[in-house]
Amino acid sequence: MSDSYLKATIDAAAHSLARGDDSLSTYARFLLVSTIREVYELRYPQLPWADGTLMEFNFNIDPGAREVGFFQEGARGRAAIVADGAKDYPLIGLEGRWTPSPAHTLGCAVQWTDQDILQSRMMGIGDIASRKARAARRGHDEELNRLIRDGSTPENIKGITALPGAYDVTVPAGTEAWTTTATPTQIRSGFTKAWQTVLNGSGGTLNVNTAVIALSLWPRIAVDQNSVADSKTILDYLKAAFPMIDRWIYDVGLDTAGVGGGPCVMMYNRDRDYLNAQMPERLKPSQLRPVGPFTWELAFKSRYAGIASIQPKAVARLSGMS
Q: What residues in the chain have per-residue pLDDT under 70?
A: 1-29, 74-77, 93-96, 123-127
pLDDT at 88: 79
Give me the pLDDT at residue 8, please.
59
SS3 175: coil
The confidence score (pLDDT) of residue 6 equals: 54
pLDDT at 85: 78
Domain ranges of the chain: 3-64+101-158+278-309, 165-274
Burial letters 100-113, b for 16+ CB under 10 A, else e = ebebbebebbbebe
What does the pLDDT read at residue 27? 66
Q: How many CA atoms lie within 13 A of 175 on its CB side?
A: 17
Q: What is the pLDDT of residue 202?
A: 86
Look up the pTM and report it: 0.85
How far is residue 7's CA from residue 5's CA, in Å, rounded to a whole number?
A: 6
Residue 15's pLDDT is what?
A: 58
**How much is the pLDDT for 98?**
85
DSSP 133: H
pLDDT at 28: 67
